[in-house]
Amino acid sequence: MDKEKMLQHLEESGMNDIEVVKEEEGYMAVKFYYDFDSTELKAAEAYSNDEGGNEKNESWYEEYYLPYLTEMSVDNVGEIIEEIMGDTGLKAQFVSYQMEEGDDFSEFIAVFHSEDIVMNIEDILDKLED
């Protein structure tokens, strides 16, 4: 497993605060953040205004703004993870944590593992909580 290559790819793809949170034989869990740029934030606001009106209330954030940003970050991170898998021959799974009002980032944990290991990301996340 080429740890440095994976971490470098995440960094070059614009991920921030990249941290290896668990590393064992055959797998590595990495936490990182996807920061939204101003264009993405403006697009989320425009969508939310179109769909939910111009009043920025709890419903506006919960039903339109945050889901829009979450979907965008999951799609973009998914593409990055697929590129890493293609470059390294590894398998990967990832999860996104729920955003809160005022966040301009989305937090992720990805688990990279060799093809011969059967892995469930939920099991790894449980280990991280211990």
Q: In this predicted model, what pLDDT tens digit does every residue of 22-48 receive, in sequence order?
A: 998 888 999 999 999 999 999 999 999
- Give me the CATH number covering residue 34: 3.30.980
Tokens 């944990």 identify what position?
109
Q: Which domain holds residue 100?
A: 3-129
Give the global pTM.
Answer: 0.90
State how far Cα 12 lies from the chain centre: 15
How many domains does the chain contain in total?
1
Eight-class DSSP state of 117? S
Strand ranges for the chain from DSSP E: 15-24, 27-35, 91-96, 105-113
pLDDT of 65: 96
Torsion sign over Cα 114, 117, 118, 121: negative
Query: What confidence score (pLDDT) does residue 117 get?
Result: 81
DSSP state of 62: I
Q: Say yes or no to pLDDT of 127 above 80.
A: no
Q: With 70 as the cut, is the pLDDT of residue 1 above it? A: no
pLDDT tens across 81-126, in order? 999 999 888 899 999 999 998 999 999 999 999 888 888 888 888 8
Residue 130: which pLDDT band, with cuts at 50, 70 and 90? low
Which segment, 1-5, 54-58, 81-85, is predicted with the most confidence on average?
Answer: 81-85
